[in-house]
A and B are shown apart, each in its own frame.
Chain A
Amino acid sequence: MQTYSLERAELKALRRELVREQRIVNIRRFFRNGLSVVGLVIVLLMVLIAIFAPVITGALGVDPYTSLGRDMRLQPPSRAHPFGTDNVNRDVFARVIYGTRISMTVGFLVGLLSALLGTAIGMYATINSVWDNILMRICDGLKAIPNILLAITLMAVLGANMQNVIISLTIVSIPGVARIARSQALLVREQTYVEAMRGAGASRRRIMWRHILPNILSPIIVQMTFTFATAIISEASLSFLGAGIPIPAPSWGGMLKEARSYVYNGWWMVVFPAIFTGLSVLSFNLFGDGLRDLIDPLSGR
């Protein structure tokens, strides 16, 4: 009986074929999971609304700051003012639309900054055990203070404005990203090809940035979508408490703070900002779930 083995080139082609097929299955899976597609669509919609806010409100001839006159106080939704008017005679629709800008900006910047800094910290923690202990103990310490409480305290210290909201939410989100980056980097480092690179004399820095970093990006990106969603919630909570973005800026949380006093005679002041907040958070979570399934089919549900 003859024995033969596949040629190297053949093996490579087979592997490439399998990887390609898996990718198609993954993408098909993402799209078959209707919810993540819905999430993606709403995410895109929110981003478009944020970018084109002036155009949208301009078409209706309303803007988020101008009082419409005393006789327009607390008017229910109508054709001219689809989301009604608030207690100081402003158009709620325009404020909600502009609120998208605030939430998307905060979410995006917090997601991006915490991903960058968290990844850097997580990667540096893998250099040696001293760094690992110092950085991870600091992360543990920060995590011991519940997120929302740390954010509130930071805002109390820094002062309420948008820049500080982004800074404090980024600080709050970094430990989580750092943990993920660290554990993923450690996993990748144990893999044989990294050992081989080290054996071949590649420098530590080169291995870290050229070989480990690209391999831990996927979970970091998934975490970014979840951070995005949490940042929207946290910003709204801070603004609701008066510790976030100060009035009269049209932040959803701030609008809900004002609406709290008018639950009996102005339900629309509550409902519309609430729907937008809930919908955007939901869509980022759905989108993140879909992404995670795509990267790691075994995790999640």
Chain B
Amino acid sequence: MDKTILQVEDLSTSFHTERGWLKAIDGVSFHVYEGEILGIVGESGCGKSVTSQSVMRLYEEKRTTRYEGKVILSGRNLLELPYRSMQHIRGSEISMIFQDALSSLNPVLKIGDQIMEPLRIHQNLKRAEARERGVEMLRLVGIPAPEKRMDQYPHELSGGMRQRVMIAIALACRPKLLIADEPTTALDVTIQAQIMDLIVSLNRQLNMGVILITHDLAVVAQTCQRVAVMYLGQIVEEAGVPELFDRPLHPYTKGLLSSIPRMDGDSSQPLHVIAGNVPLLHQMPAGCRFAPRCPCATEKCRSEMPPLREVKGKQKVRCWMAFGEEEKHV
């Protein structure tokens, strides 16, 4: 029996800008099971990062940010918690790792100070105990000579090592859920693979849920059990990884899949490119958000927004055409 650890329902986040309130993500719903890796994919600017940071409520300026919906972790709606309790959840129950480890580690603090910090805050450990646990964590993420690293500064480490350090910091308190926001984008290809392997093995070892945010479908195929595809602040398709790659339903997903270069493909053929650009947030189309770029959009697509609906087993999609096909099949 799969146990749900995180349930996001109808989450919307708006930011106040000079053009008024803009919804960066609109009605996002998904859930994460214990011990699974959920991928969230999409182009840059589609709201992947906003989604993950909203889950942790990292946008705290009340005057400029507005959350709607629910983020339920162990029966509590995080969006309604007082700030203090939220601080207690961050780093102990949910942790996050970011794209660029160099800029995400404080340059003037030693690695040791940064890894001991969550341990001392959340588990009230003494300095010596926290240090011991910190060394243990560094060893767990595969850093050689961890005692020595504790007294070094972030800039003294290589890119891959820094990313490992960040993972060690995030996992120090053994959270139930890890959010990894493009964890390998800033790294070399060989190191990318090492870091992904590390995340997958830690996911199994510690039985924690992982939300992997990426724009790389190849990474999703290798590591995730389920995947949600985002476009312009909405989830347009959600499915198990095999189903999605076998039978993508949304035209956007199809486009994404056919733009992956393939080893066995005909290299003389140009890569597929999805036409057009992502529209700006304040020029949102009225109907389906993908309609302006969609090769098979109809009048209905342009005027009416499709809901995210379950079509085949556990596959969900937000597309009138896909609903139509499904009905034909029935």
Our pick among A3, A25, A28, A29 for the contact of B273 (Cβ within 8 Å) is A3
Instruction: Flag B264-305 by CB within 8 Å of A: 1 or 0 each.
Output: 000000001101100000000000000000010000000000
Our pick among A3, A5, A28, A29 for the contact of B272 (Cβ within 8 Å) is A3
With a cutoff of 8 Å between Cβ atoms, the chain A residues found around residue B251 in the complex are: 1
Closest A-B pairs by Cβ, 6 of them: A1-B295, A4-B275, A2-B295, A3-B273, A3-B275, A25-B18
With a cutoff of 8 Å between Cβ atoms, the chain B residues found around residue A6 in the complex are: 276
Within 8 A of A (CB), among B172-189: none
Further 12 A-B residue pairs, CB within 8 A, beyond A1-B251, A4-B275: A1-B254, A1-B255, A1-B272, A1-B295, A2-B275, A2-B295, A3-B273, A5-B275, A6-B276, A25-B18, A25-B19, A29-B18
With a cutoff of 8 Å between Cβ atoms, the chain B residues found around residue A4 in the complex are: 275
Q: For the complex formed, measure the closest distance between the CB of B297 and the CB atoms of chain A, giving whole angstroms.
A: 12
B258 within 8 A of A: yes
With a cutoff of 8 Å between Cβ atoms, the chain B residues found around residue A29 in the complex are: 18
With a cutoff of 8 Å between Cβ atoms, the chain B residues found around residue A1 in the complex are: 251, 254-255, 258, 272, 295
Instruction: A28 to B19: give the CA distance in the assembly, Å.
Output: 11
Interface of B, helix, strand, loop or mixed by DSSP: loop
With a cutoff of 8 Å between Cβ atoms, the chain A residues found around residue B18 in the complex are: 25, 28-29
Q: For the complex formed, measure the closest distance between the CB of A28 and the CB atoms of chain B, giving whole angstroms.
A: 8
Instruction: Flag A15-29 by CB within 8 Å of B: 1 or 0 each.
Output: 000000000010011
- CB closest chain-B residue, reference A14: B277
Instruction: A2 to B255: give the CA distance in the assembly, Å.
Output: 11
Instruction: A28 to B20: give the CA distance in the assembly, Å.
Output: 14
Instruction: A53 to B207: give the CA distance in the assembly, Å.
Output: 82
Q: For the complex formed, measure the closest distance between the CB of B301 and the CB atoms of chain A, giving whole angstroms.
A: 15
Q: For the complex formed, measure the closest distance between the CB of A237 and the CB atoms of chain B, giving whole angstroms.
A: 39
- CB closest chain-B residue, reference A2: B295
Using a CB–CB distance below 8 Å, which chain B residues touch chain A? 18-19, 251, 254-255, 258, 272-273, 275-276, 295
Classify chain A: how many residues form its interface, as a range.
under 10
Instruction: A1 to B271: give the CA distance in the assembly, Å.
Output: 12
Q: For the complex formed, measure the closest distance between the CB of A49 and the CB atoms of chain B, giving whole angstroms.
A: 35
Kindly count the residue-residue contacts between A and B in the assembled complex, taking CB atoms under 8 Å apart: 18
Instruction: A28 to B17: give the CA distance in the assembly, Å.
Output: 14
Instruction: A29 to B19: give the CA distance in the assembly, Å.
Output: 11
Name 8 A/B residue pairs within 8 A (Cβ), A-sorted.
A1-B254, A2-B275, A2-B295, A3-B272, A3-B273, A4-B275, A25-B19, A29-B18
Instruction: A47 to B267: give the CA distance in the assembly, Å.
Output: 69
Instruction: A3 to B295: give the CA distance in the assembly, Å.
Output: 9
Instruction: A103 to B318: give the CA distance in the assembly, Å.
Output: 67
Among A3, A28, A29, max chain B CB count under 10 A is at: A3
With a cutoff of 8 Å between Cβ atoms, the chain B residues found around residue A2 in the complex are: 275, 295
Among B18, B254, B255, B273, max chain A CB count under 10 A is at: B18
Q: For the complex formed, measure the closest distance between the CB of A286 and the CB atoms of chain B, giving whole angstroms.
A: 20
- CB closest chain-A residue, reference B294: A1
Instruction: A34 to B276: give the CA distance in the assembly, Å.
Output: 39
Q: For the complex formed, measure the closest distance between the CB of B202 and the CB atoms of chain A, giving whole angstroms.
A: 38
Among A1, A2, A6, A28, max chain B CB count under 10 A is at: A1
With a cutoff of 8 Å between Cβ atoms, the chain A residues found around residue B295 in the complex are: 1-2
Instruction: Flag A22-60 by CB within 8 Å of B: 1 or 0 each.
Output: 000100110000000000000000000000000000000
Instruction: A109 to B322: give the CA distance in the assembly, Å.
Output: 71
Instruction: A6 to B276: give the CA distance in the assembly, Å.
Output: 8
Instruction: A172 to B258: give the CA distance in the assembly, Å.
Output: 63
With a cutoff of 8 Å between Cβ atoms, the chain A residues found around residue B272 in the complex are: 1, 3
Instruction: A29 to B276: give the CA distance in the assembly, Å.
Output: 30
- CB closest chain-B residue, reference A28: B18
- CB closest chain-A residue, reference B274: A3
Q: For the complex formed, measure the closest distance between the CB of B170 and the CB atoms of chain A, giving whole angstroms.
A: 30
Q: For the complex formed, measure the closest distance between the CB of A2 and the CB atoms of chain B, giving whole angstroms.
A: 6
Instruction: A102 to B252: give the CA distance in the assembly, Å.
Output: 68
Instruction: A25 to B251: give the CA distance in the assembly, Å.
Output: 35
Instruction: A2 to B272: give the CA distance in the assembly, Å.
Output: 9
Q: For the complex formed, measure the closest distance between the CB of B60 and the CB atoms of chain A, giving whole angstroms.
A: 20
- CB closest chain-B residue, reference A4: B275
- CB closest chain-A residue, reference B258: A1
With a cutoff of 8 Å between Cβ atoms, the chain A residues found around residue B19 in the complex are: 25
Q: For the complex formed, measure the closest distance between the CB of A121 and the CB atoms of chain B, giving whole angstroms.
A: 36
With a cutoff of 8 Å between Cβ atoms, the chain A residues found around residue B275 in the complex are: 2-5
Q: For the complex formed, measure the closest distance between the CB of A218 and the CB atoms of chain B, giving whole angstroms.
A: 20
Instruction: A29 to B258: give the CA distance in the assembly, Å.
Output: 43
Q: For the complex formed, measure the closest distance between the CB of B226 and the CB atoms of chain A, giving whole angstroms.
A: 26
